Amino acid sequence: MIIDLRSDTVTRPTKEMQEAMWSASVGDDVMGDDPTVNALQDKAAGLFGMEAALFCASGTMTNQLAIRAYTQPGSDVICDKLSHIYLYEGGGIMLNSFSSVKLLDGERGRINASQVVDAISPEGDIHATVSRMVSLENTMNKGGGSYYDFKEITDIRKVCDKHGLAFHLDGARLFNALIETGETPKQYGQVFDSISICLSKGLGCPVGSLLLGTKEVITKAKRFRKVMGGGWRQAGFLAAAGIYALDNHVDRLNEDHIRARSIRDIFVHKSEVEEIYPVDTNIVIIRLSANISAPDYVRELAKSGIQAVTFGKNLVRFVTHLDFTDAHLEEMRKRLL
C-alpha cells in the first residue's frame, strides 16, 4: 500500500465523478458555447454571490489573471512573504504583469490591516511603485493550512476601500477554511473583489480552478487567458467534475482534517521531530531536528511506502485528501510507530 501524502492534488476522480464527466454535454468553450462549462461558472458565481466566473486550467492561472487584471507595469501587489502567488508561480507577477511585490511578515502567513496600511506606497511618490492590490491566501499553504479570522479580512477590506486597492483571495483551499469556521461562500463574495478557488485539491477534481469576480474583471481575465494560451475547447468534461465536486465533496473535507490531526498525533511520539505546526485543516508540517536532512528523511519515508515533500529547511509536509482513508491512516501508524 502506497500512502501518498505529497499533496491533495494527487487524487483521482471517483467512479461517480467519472460518470458525471463522461455524460457531460460539451461545446467549444473558446466560443463560449460549452454548456457544462457555462453551468459550472454560473454555479460557482452564484454560490459566492459574485457576478461571473471563469474556468481555468490551474490556480496559478486564476491568480495570475486576477493580478494582470488589476495591475499596471510598475505597480505592486501587497501580500505575505509566504504567499503562493510569490513563491510558487514562477515569478508570474513580474513576468505576466510587470509588477512588483510588497512582502509582509505575517503570523503563519496571515497578514493584518495595520501591516497593509504601512505597506501602501505614498501617493504621488515617483520613487515608489504604485500600490494596486492586496492578496490574501486562505488557507495558507506555507503556514500549515492556517486560516484567517474573518474580522481581520473585513478590516483589510476597509483599508483597501480607503486607498482604492483591489482585494483578491487566493482561495485554493478556501473550502477547507469554511468547513472549520462555519462562514459561507457568500460572505467571502461580499468582501473580496476576486476569488480563486481550486477544484483539483480537496474537492478531488482531475484539473481546474475558477476565478470569480465582477463581469468587468472576468471579461479582462478571459482575454488574458487567451493570450496565455489558456483557451480550451470541449472543457465540459472537466467542468462536469467541478459541478459534481461542489455538490458532493465539500462537506467531507472535515474527514481530511480529522485524519491530519491523527497524523500529527503519530509524529508527536517521534524523537526526530522538534516541532509540529498547529494542524488547523488538512496540512501537517513537521520540523526535524537540526542534524536531520529533510530530503533524506523524505527518502526514508518513501522506503516505507509513505510519500511526503520537503517544505523548507528541516521541514516536511503531509497533506490529507480524498484518497487517503482510515485504512491508509492505520497502515501509516503501524509503519511509523
- How high is the pLDDT of residue 43? 98
pLDDT tens for 175-189 read 999 999 999 999 999
The predicted model gives 3-8 an average pLDDT of 98
Cβ distance 214 to 69 under 8 Å?
Answer: no
- How high is the pLDDT of residue 188? 98
- How high is the pLDDT of residue 164? 98
316 burial level (CB within 10 Å; 0-12, 13-18, 19+): buried
- How high is the pLDDT of residue 126? 95
**pTM (predicted TM-score):** 0.97
- How high is the pLDDT of residue 189? 98
Phi then psi for 317, rounded to 5 degrees? -115, 140
Whole-angstrom CA distances from 300 to 2, 14, 319 are 14, 30, 18
* Confidence grade of residue 14 (pLDDT, cut at 50, 70, 90): very high
- How high is the pLDDT of residue 147? 98
Domain ranges of the chain: 15-248, 252-336
Alpha carbon distance 271, 147 (integer Å): 29
- How high is the pLDDT of residue 182? 97
The predicted model gives 106-114 an average pLDDT of 98
Contacts of 164 (CB under 8 A, 6+ apart): none
* Confidence grade of residue 95 (pLDDT, cut at 50, 70, 90): very high
The predicted model gives 307-320 an average pLDDT of 97
- How high is the pLDDT of residue 313? 92
- How high is the pLDDT of residue 101? 98
* Confidence grade of residue 30 (pLDDT, cut at 50, 70, 90): very high
Q: What is the mean pLDDT of the chain?
A: 97
Alpha carbon distance 304, 268 (integer Å): 19
3-class secondary structure, 153: helix
Q: Which CATH number fits domain 15-248: 3.40.50.2000, 3.40.640.10, 3.40.50.300, 3.40.50.1370?
A: 3.40.640.10
Cβ distance 136 to 107 under 8 Å?
Answer: no
CATH class assigned to 252-336:
alpha beta
- How high is the pLDDT of residue 1? 92
The predicted model gives 50-65 an average pLDDT of 98
Percent of the chain with pLDDT over 90: 99
Alpha carbon distance 165, 159 (integer Å): 8
- How high is the pLDDT of residue 231? 96
* Confidence grade of residue 295 (pLDDT, cut at 50, 70, 90): very high
- How high is the pLDDT of residue 244? 98
Cβ distance 253 to 282 under 8 Å?
Answer: yes
pLDDT tens for 145-173 read 999 999 999 999 999 999 999 999 999 99
Query: Regarding beta strands 315-319 and 283-288, do their DSSP bridges make them parallel or antiparallel, or are they unpaired?
Result: antiparallel
